[in-house]
Amino acid sequence: MKVDAHCAFDKGFDVKMMNDMQDDWTMVPIMRNLHAFNWVCPDGHIRYQGPSGPCTACNKETVRDVVWIAKNNPQSTSYCFDSEPHFQYFNEFKKRPGGKGDLTESMSLQGSCFMLTRDKYWELNICDENFGSWGSQGIEVAVKTWLSGGRVMVNHKTWYAHMFRTQGGDFGFPYQLSGSAVSHAKKTAKDLFFAGTWEKQIRPLSWLIEKFWPVPGWKPEDLAKLKGGVSTGCLYYTDNSLDETVARVCQRQLKKAINGKKLVSVSLKPMDFGQNIVLDLKRGYLTMFKQILAGLEALDTDVVFFCEHDVLYHPSHFEFTPPKQDVFYYNGNYWFLRLTDGFALHYDVSPLSGLVAYREPLIKHFKERIALVEKEGFSYNIGFEPMTHGRIDWKTKYGFEVYHSSSPNIDISHGKNVTQKRWTQDKFRRKPTNWTEANIDTIPGWDNVRRLLNFADPV
């Protein structure tokens, strides 16, 4: 066990730790804060531990009174690091199922205490002097453990208490600490783990981030960059029933928003829009699913954005990169616009037109979906948005999550939509959440919808 000098321990902590220890684990107890001493003056005034000096109440000299109390709050059990990398407490993980129990996993460590076998200590080159004298030790120890095939565990059956010296003076770090030393340690961690140059790793760092996702300080684009970049494409499908004027507006906006991403369009009539595929089929739900599958198979990108012919897509929609390959993501920043009068509406929804996911899982799902509809016919029990409900026991199941782009997409209601819109709350069996009404001029993030659609100015 490595431990800082300024720590206290639970009675029998060593036995409790050893009882659960395994050869490829790095383990830590719960971390409490150590209240080591107070400053006390002759008049009995008490000041909590910190720099020395006279009493702040009477200005008389003070003496140190050692109390040695392991405080019950906070009790730290989960740690991580951001994309710099910089140490973070991972309090959100405590609320997850994986954060509950006597033994829990932790993405990273705080660094003041950890235990592993002597063999693993030397095998993994723990406390590598290339990191320098201070900084990133918790990251080094945890990441080396995880990436070499081991686990980092927190034992909730026992604790240690660490005294934090953060107030400066004679209650700060007892040795010189420079910003350059901290930066050097971060750079060493990046060179080893982010660049994948550590010779003993059998897992990439992206595996660890995905295992604990979402992680504070990590954005989807950070994870995508770590994984070496992900190719994205757009699948546009249409039944060619939309008014040509509206269709052209949506197409122009889409081409602008995707900023050069590969585009495959699947239609029922020939059209000059991306790589066009024409299916000789009649309009319908099964046809739409077949169009989607044809487009997915024609694309060769890792990730696919679904794009429908009657939606105005905002560029921010396409900035998202799915962090997980086995999850279907839906953009929940979504507004409906009634073309007849310019009424606009938002409520929480996960629309098919806002779906983005990895291509291979999408192909598997839509093959299964088409087979089911061909066998049993379409029903609203099946629905349109994959994985958003549990009414169908799909053979291959994926996760479902919602993300929110910085500005919304706008679904235009034009009278020939595949699904009919509901514009008042009394039309819903369950009251929608975050119901917000607006108009064509006040949809957040858009200031040109009236002009785009050549909508008549208000009288």
Q: Stretch 285-294: mean pLDDT, rounded? A: 98
CA dihedral 360, 363, 367, 373 (to 10 degrees): 130
Same fold, 2-219 and 232-452: yes
Q: What is the pLDDT of residue 240?
A: 95
Q: Is the pLDDT of residue 432 over 50?
A: yes
| pLDDT classification of 430: cutoffs 50, 70, 90 | confident
Give the residue, 323 or 71, on which the prediction is more confident: 71
Cβ-based neighbour number of residue 437 at 10 Å: 12
Q: What is the pLDDT of residue 459?
A: 35
Give the residue, 49 or 195, on which the prediction is more confident: 49
The per-residue b/e assignment along 414-436, b for 16 or more CB within 10 angstroms, e otherwise, is beeeeeeeeeeeeeeeeeeeeee
Cα four-point dihedral sign 132, 136, 139, 142: positive
Do you find a cis peptide bond into 270, omega within 30 degrees of 0? no
pLDDT tens for 40-76 read: 999 999 999 999 999 999 999 999 999 999 999 999 9
Residues whose CB is less than 8 angstroms from the CB of residue 75 and which lie 6 or more positions away in sequence, other chains included:
30, 31, 32, 159
pLDDT tens for 72-88 read: 999 999 999 999 999 99
Q: Is the pLDDT of residue 195 over 60?
A: yes
pLDDT tens for 130-159 read: 887 667 899 999 999 999 999 999 999 999
Q: What is the pLDDT of residue 58?
A: 97
Q: What is the pLDDT of residue 349?
A: 93
Q: Stretch 190-212: mean pLDDT, rounded? A: 91
Q: What is the pLDDT of residue 352?
A: 96
Q: What is the pLDDT of residue 182?
A: 81
Give this prediction's pTM: 0.54
Q: What is the pLDDT of residue 310?
A: 95
Q: What is the pLDDT of residue 313?
A: 97
**Domain boundaries of the chain, sorted by first residue:** 2-219, 232-452
Distance of CA 372 to CAs 265, 358, 365, 393, 394, Å?
24, 22, 11, 11, 10
pLDDT tens for 4-37 read: 999 999 999 999 999 999 999 999 999 999 999 9
| The domain over range 2-219 is classified in CATH as 3.90.550 | yes
pLDDT tens for 342-352 read: 999 999 999 99
Q: What is the mean pLDDT of the chain?
A: 92
Q: What is the pLDDT of residue 303?
A: 93
Q: Do residues 31 and 21 touch, judged by C-beta distance below 8 A?
A: no
User: What is the phi-psi region of residue 435: left when phi exceeds 0, alpha when psi lies from -120 to 50, beta otherwise?
Assistant: beta
| pLDDT classification of 104: cutoffs 50, 70, 90 | very high
pLDDT tens for 155-185 read: 999 999 999 977 777 887 666 665 677 888 8
pLDDT tens for 210-219 read: 999 999 999 8
Q: Is the pLDDT of residue 298 over 60?
A: yes
Q: Is the pLDDT of residue 419 over 70?
A: no
Look up the CATH architecture of domain 232-452. Alpha-Beta Complex (3.90)
Cβ-based neighbour number of residue 360 at 10 Å: 12
User: What share of the chain in percent tops pLDDT 90?
Assistant: 77
Which range (82-86, 92-96, 361-365, 424-428) has the least confidence?
A: 424-428
Q: What is the pLDDT of residue 171?
A: 86
